[in-house]
Every structure is written in C-alpha cells, then in structure tokens.
C-alpha cells in the first residue's frame, strides 16, 4: 500500500509525509516536504558536509538549506569550504551567506569562499603570518567582480551590478599549528560570526561583535563586494579545551548568547568526541519555528596541547 | 463607517484567512486588532493567526478618539514585545495599520499621545504607523499620523468606501507577506504599497 500522502498546497502532485527524525527545538517549524529550487541553472544540494582530521586538528562543516527556502522554491545560499595547507599543517576555512536579494547569491557565496581560501593558501605559501586580512577580503571581492564581469560581458562592472548578482557575507580564517600551541586568525565581512566553545563549561565566546541586542531587531549589514575601511579580524590561541566555530546567522541567530536550548544542544554534541560529518549536518538541520534561514557551521577541534 | 461594518469584518476575516493559508509567514507574525471610538476596545489581543478559530468582530461605534488608541498602543506594545522575547523570539519593529473615517475628536491632545508612542527614546519598541483615511478623514491629519510620508494614504474623492476598505485590507495583507519575506535577509524592511483607491496623503495636503 502506498504511504499516506497529502497534496502540496501549491497544487503539485501528492507527496509522502516527511520523515520524523529531525531534531526539534520547540516550538517546531512547519512540517512539509521540501520543494525544488526554481533558481536558474543547476541548483546545489539541500545539504553539504565534510569532515576529516590532520595530526593537529579535526574539522567538520555542514551547510543546510533552510525551511523558508525549501518552502518557497529557493536554493540554499549558505556555503562553506575548508582545506589543508600541507607544508604548514594549517587548515584554511571559509563560511559565507549569500544575500537573499542577490540574483545568484549561492554562486556568490561559493565564489567568495573559494577566493578567500586561494588567497589564504597563497599567503601561507609565502610564510605570511599573521594573515593580511584586508588582502583576503580584497581577493574575495575581486573574484566576485570578475565573475560579474564575465556574466555581464563588461570589463568593469559597478559595485551595484556585482552586488545585485553576488552579494555575500564572509568569515574566513586559518588555524596554524605552532610550538606554543595552535593559533587561529579570522576575518569577517557582514554578519556571519565565529565563536570559541569551551568544552569544560559549555559556554560560547563570540569572536566578533554579535548582532546588536537592540530592543527590536535591526540587521542591515555590509556585504561583499563592498569592503569596509577596517576589515574585522581577530587572532586567538586554541587548545583542546576550545572548539573554534564559524557560522552564518542561520546558526548564530537561534544560538544567541549560547545559553538557550540550541546552544545547549550543540555544546552537548560537540564537547565530546567530534560527531561524524553526517551527524554534524543532522544537528545543523534542527527545526525551530521562525528560525528557518539557511545555516552553515564549521567546527575545528585542536588536537595539540600547548607546550 | 457604520454603513460599512460588513466590509470591515470581511477585511479582517480575509486577513486572518490569508495568514492561516501561509504557515511559514504566519509563524513569524503576531496580530492584534483594536477598535477605537470614544475609547479603545481590543477585538483581538496579540495572537498567532494559526490558532484562531474565528475572525474577530468589529463594531462601529461613536466618535474617533485618536489619542486613546495611541495611548493604549504605547502601553500594550512594549508589554507584547517583552512577552515575545521571553518566549525566545527575536522581534522586529512592530507595524500599526491605522484606518479612520473621521477627524480626531481629541484635537490637539492626540498629538502628544502619538508622539510618546513613536519617540524611540520614550518607547524603544516604537512602531511604524501606516495610516489610511476614508470618509471624513483629512489628508493633512492622516499624513501627520503616519510615521513616514510614504506611509500615509487618503481615499480618492468620491470613491466607494466599501471598496476602499477592502483595498486597505488587501494592501495590509500584501505588506505582511512581502515584509515577512525580507525578515531572513540581510536587509529586513517594512514593505508598504499604496492601496488601490487611495493616494498619498502628503500629495493631497
């Protein structure tokens, strides 16, 4: 017997009821079967994840399409990437949140991540430390401009033209092993964020100023290709007590200051042995009403004790 | 507005029905409906439209005391925002959709009540006010109620009042839907479109 189904309100063919194994943080979001993206081109997948360990670090990252985009036929616009710089043992990473109003926000986010990684690897090749954050930002912005130029067939697209196509936030950085223990250097443009999660206390420490805790929300932000005069950056020491997290506001907004149910959930799941990549993605696919944005999260555990 | 009570109730019902049919948007909206005449009556306290089993019923009563409405909003909105935040929600700036068919019966006292409501130093959760005037309402007053020039609308002369009321609610629903769609973006904003049968009040002053 075919499983009981229901008619999609959009008038599409009957769909099977969705699986009940999603993590829910009450109140649960609306339950429905995801709808395909109607964006031009071949859309990316609903979920991406990756994870591996070097001698010094364990990494997990995932990006998950939010329920709003699943419901309204829009593609996932958050991206993440990471790679190893083999000569130094460093891990370079980037997380980006394509601006919804940009026509190809998903493409912009991935382009920014890739360009930031290439620039950071290049700097590591030249033994540049600390990182030139302004140059990382410039490289990402330049990549978006070039992509826009190729698409529009114009040599010098305006910032507005690039923004209209590819605007995105970016958090990018490197964790570098060292004789005194690992160091992490990060930069950001926009409202994506990074945190240190203390494995002993389960507390989160934001590395960039979180969205203002105004009485009511107000979250207009700068995003690439625009680069502020002062690129936000931070450098911290890592040790096995601390987990470095970088994420988009699809994770950061429901996390808040980390003391709520989402913060407790992730702390419980991350302070022990790192979860498998698919389990990490499953965590990030939590359902909580009104928190239906795409989300990307990257986590790095240090395996190196400070000397 | 007495002759148009049916249109008013149909408009409120259509608003509730639309929210009911859009679960993703309804999850992000909390709706309150108040009627004001010589005093204020709460027809629907701040509610989740998905839980409504019937639309609130409006009753047309006497004079038009603008100040009573603004005073009540100045007291209730901060309370409602606190409650929503206590439930774990992030709250965007409230929007008040104001519809009147008459001149304020409490001129000039209403102006101080409105000012207290919209002054963000006094009321940090101060709402945006989208004001629409029909019947005996005057464009100048309506434009002074709205918090921005582009938020004040007056019905075109000699228009069908019932139709204007319907268009007010149609525009309100569109505003809710379009504004909700910006909430998860980097630039959330209140989207306000001119209702059909109305013109900008500032253009009529």
Q: Which of B95, B121, B186 to mutate to test the interface with A (most CBs of A within 10 A)?
A: B186
Is the model's pLDDT at A227 over the cut of 80? yes
Q: Which of B96, B184, B187, B188 to mutate to test the interface with A (most CBs of A within 10 A)?
A: B184
The overall longest dimension of chain B from CA atoms, in Å, is 48
Q: Quick one: CA torsion of A114, A116, A117, A123, rounded to 10 degrees?
A: 150
Contact status, residue A95 vs residue A171, Cβ threshold 8 Å: yes
Lowest-pLDDT range, A152-166, A193-207, A212-226, B110-124?
A212-226
- On whether any CB of chain A is under 8 Å from the CB of B187, the answer is yes
- Domains of chain B and any CATH numbers: 2-204 (3.40.50.410)
The answer to whether B27 contacts A219, with C-beta atoms less than 8 Å apart, is no
pLDDT band at A7 (very low <50, low <70, confident <90, very high): very low
Establish whether the linkage from the previous residue to A130 is cis, with ω within 30° of 0: yes
Span B183-193, pLDDT tens digits: 766 677 888 99
Class (C level, CATH) for A47-302? alpha beta
What 3-state DSSP class applies to B144? Answer: helix
The answer to whether A67 contacts B184, with C-beta atoms less than 8 Å apart, is no
Span B157-183, pLDDT tens digits: 888 988 999 999 999 988 988 888 787
* CA separation for the pair A45, B48 (Å, rounded): 33
Minimum distance, in Å, between the CA of residue B177 and any CA atom of chain A: 12
Is the model's pLDDT at A285 over the cut of 70? yes
Which of A30, A190, A260 is nearest residue B88 as measured by Cβ atoms? Answer: A260
Span B28-77, pLDDT tens digits: 999 999 999 999 999 999 999 999 999 999 888 878 999 999 999 999 99
The answer to whether A217 contacts B92, with C-beta atoms less than 8 Å apart, is yes
> In the predicted model, what is the mean pLDDT of chain B?
91
Mean pLDDT within A193-197: 98
The answer to whether A216 contacts B23, with C-beta atoms less than 8 Å apart, is no
Is the model's pLDDT at A13 over the cut of 70? no
Minimum distance, in Å, between the CA of residue A213 and any CA atom of chain B: 10
- On whether any CB of chain A is under 8 Å from the CB of B121, the answer is no
The residue of chain B with its CA nearest to that of A169 is B186
- Taking Cα atoms as reference points, which of A183, A202, A179, A193 lies closest to residue A247? A193
- Per-residue pLDDT, A69: 94
Contact list, B30 vs chain A (CB under 8 Å): none
pLDDT above 70 coverage of chain A, percent:
89
Could you please report the per-residue DSSP string of A175-200? EE--TT--EEEEEEESS-EEEEEETT
The answer to whether A101 contacts B23, with C-beta atoms less than 8 Å apart, is no
Which of B21, B94, B185 is nearest residue A100 as measured by Cβ atoms? Answer: B185
Is the model's pLDDT at A17 over the cut of 80? no
- Per-residue pLDDT, B4: 85
Sort B193 into a burial class: Cβ within 10 Å, 0-12 / 13-18 / 19+.
middle
Span A65-118, pLDDT tens digits: 999 999 999 999 999 999 999 999 999 999 999 998 899 999 999 999 999 999
Contact list, A217 vs chain B (CB under 8 Å): 90-93, 188
Contact list, A97 vs chain B (CB under 8 Å): 186
Q: Which of A219, A293, A295 to mutate to test the interface with B (most CBs of B within 10 A)?
A: A219
pLDDT band at A1 (very low <50, low <70, confident <90, very high): very low
The answer to whether B24 contacts A68, with C-beta atoms less than 8 Å apart, is yes
Say which residues have a Cβ less than 8 Å from residue B37's Cβ, sequence separation at least 6.
B60, B61, B62, B63, B64, B65
Our CA angle for A119, A127, A240, nearest 5°, is 90
Which of A30, A215, A217 is nearest residue B23 as measured by Cβ atoms? Answer: A30
Residues of A with CB under 8 A from a CB of B: 9, 29-30, 66-68, 71-72, 97, 99-101, 167, 169, 190-191, 214-221, 223, 250, 253, 260, 289-290, 292-293
Span B71-84, pLDDT tens digits: 999 999 999 999 99
Span A229-250, pLDDT tens digits: 999 999 999 989 999 999 999 9
pLDDT band at A220 (very low <50, low <70, confident <90, very high): low
Contact status, residue A224 vs residue A168, Cβ threshold 8 Å: yes
CB contact burial B86-102 (16+ within 10 A = b; e otherwise): eebbbbbbbbbbbbbbb
* CA separation for the pair A276, A294 (Å, rounded): 21
Span B85-104, pLDDT tens digits: 888 888 999 999 999 999 99
Is the model's pLDDT at B133 over the cut of 80? yes
- On whether any CB of chain A is under 8 Å from the CB of B125, the answer is yes
- Per-residue pLDDT, A6: 41
- Per-residue pLDDT, A14: 58
Is the model's pLDDT at A198 over the cut of 90? yes
- Taking Cα atoms as reference points, which of A272, A276, A245 lies closest to residue A258? A245
The answer to whether A190 contacts B187, with C-beta atoms less than 8 Å apart, is no
- Taking Cα atoms as reference points, which of A235, A187, A190 lies closest to residue A211? A190
Which residue has better confidence, B204 or A226? A226
The answer to whether B94 contacts A216, with C-beta atoms less than 8 Å apart, is yes
What 3-state DSSP class applies to A226? Answer: coil
The answer to whether B184 contacts A68, with C-beta atoms less than 8 Å apart, is yes
Distance, C-alpha A222 to centroid of its chain: 17
Domain limits of chain A?
A: 47-302
The answer to whether A290 contacts B27, with C-beta atoms less than 8 Å apart, is yes
The answer to whether B21 contacts A9, with C-beta atoms less than 8 Å apart, is yes
What 3-state DSSP class applies to A127? Answer: coil
Could you please report the per-residue DSSP string of B55-94? PPPP---S---HHHHHHHHHHHHHHHHHHHHHTT---BPP
Contact status, residue B46 vs residue B32, Cβ threshold 8 Å: yes
- Per-residue pLDDT, B188: 77
pLDDT band at A217 (very low <50, low <70, confident <90, very high): low
- On whether any CB of chain A is under 8 Å from the CB of B86, the answer is no
Contact list, A191 vs chain B (CB under 8 Å): 186
Return residues 6-65 of B near A (CB < 8 Å). 21, 23-24, 27-28
């Amino acid at each position: 017997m075919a499983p009981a189904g229901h008619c999609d309100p959009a008038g599409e063919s009957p769909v099977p009821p969705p699986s009940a194994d999603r993590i829910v943080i009450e109140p649960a979001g609306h339950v429905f079967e995801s709808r395909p993206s109607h964006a031009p081109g071949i859309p990316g997948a609903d979920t991406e994840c990756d994870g591996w360990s070097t001698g010094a670090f364990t990494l997990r990252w995932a990006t998950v399409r939010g329920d709003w985009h699943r419901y309204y036929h829009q593609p996932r616009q958050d991206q993440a990437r990471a790679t190893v710089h083999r000569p130094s043992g460093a891990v370079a990473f980037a997380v980006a949140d394509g601006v919804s109003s940009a026509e190809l926000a998903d493409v912009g986010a991935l382009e920014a991540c890739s360009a930031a990684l290439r620039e950071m690897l290049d700097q590591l090749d030249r033994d540049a430390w600390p990182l030139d954050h302004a140059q990382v930002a410039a490289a990402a912005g330049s990549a978006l401009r070039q992509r826009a130029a190729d698409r529009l067939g114009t040599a010098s697209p305006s910032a507005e033209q690039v923004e209209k196509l590819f605007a995105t936030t970016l958090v990018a950085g490197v964790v570098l092993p060292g004789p005194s223990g690992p160091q992490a250097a990060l930069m950001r443009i926009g409202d994506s964020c990074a945190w240190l999660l203390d494995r002993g206390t389960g507390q989160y420490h934001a590395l960039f100023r979180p969205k203002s805790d105004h009485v009511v929300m107000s979250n207009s932000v700068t995003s690439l290709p625009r680069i502020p005069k002062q690129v936000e950056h931070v450098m911290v020491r890592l040790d096995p007590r601390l987990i470095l997290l970088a994420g988009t506001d699809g994770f950061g907004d429901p996390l808040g200051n980390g003391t709520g149910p989402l913060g407790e959930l992730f702390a419980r799941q991350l302070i022990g042995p790192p979860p498998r990549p698919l389990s990490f993605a499953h965590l990030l696919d939590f359902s909580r009403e009104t928190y239906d944005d795409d989300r990307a999260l990257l986590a790095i555990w240090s395996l190196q004790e400070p000397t | 507005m007495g002759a148009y009570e049916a249109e008013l109730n149909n408009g409120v019902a259509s608003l509730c029905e639309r929210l009911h049919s859009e679960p993703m948007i309804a999850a992000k909206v909390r709706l309150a409906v108040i009627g004001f005449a010589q005093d204020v009556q709460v027809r629907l306290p701040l509610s989740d439209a998905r839980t409504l089993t019937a639309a609130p019923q409006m009753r047309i009563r006497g004079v038009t005391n603008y100040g009573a409405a603004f005073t009540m909003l100045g007291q209730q909105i901060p309370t409602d925002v606190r409650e929503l935040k206590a439930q774990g929600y992030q709250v965007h700036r409230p929007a008040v959709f104001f519809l009147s068919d008459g001149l304020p019966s409490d001129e000039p006292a209403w102006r101080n009540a409105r000012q207290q409501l919209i002054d963000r130093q006094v009321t940090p959760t101060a709402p945006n006010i989208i004001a629409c005037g029909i019947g005996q309402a005057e464009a100048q007053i309506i434009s002074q109620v709205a918090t921005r020039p582009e938020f004040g609308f007056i019905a075109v002369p000699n228009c069908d009042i019932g139709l204007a009321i319907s268009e007010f609610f149609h525009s309100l629903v569109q505003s809710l839907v379009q504004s909700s769609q910006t909430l998860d973006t980097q630039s959330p904003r209140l989207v306000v479109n001119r209702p059909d049968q109305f013109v900008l009040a500032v253009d009529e002053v």
